[in-house]
Amino acid sequence: MRVRFGKQAVENNDETCILITQYEDTQVGLIVDGVDEVVNIAATDILEPPNVNDINAHFVTGVYNDGKRIRLILDCDQVLNS
């Protein structure tokens, strides 16, 4: 995922994880630097992303605010096809 977002590749380590997601009819594994936690988010709790001028903004499909942290919801179609 680092390379997809324009960041420099790094060696895998003990924190590196493979995030499994469903994309169309296929399960896909995404290598990520780490995972802090897994949360279930109701679709009704996902807000529209803010309009920002960031080169990677098109990867964000929504925002979730749990009152403590703001979480960005990635658009898997954009991440996998761009």
Tell me the pTM. Answer: 0.68
Q: What does the pLDDT look like over 45-65, one tens digit per residue?
A: 999 987 777 656 778 889 999
Beta strands in the chain (DSSP E): 17-23, 26-32, 60-65, 70-74
| DSSP helix/strand/coil, 3 | helix
Q: What does the pLDDT look like over 20-42, one tens digit per residue?
A: 988 889 999 989 999 988 889 99
For residues 74 and 61, is the Cβ–Cβ distance under 8 A? yes
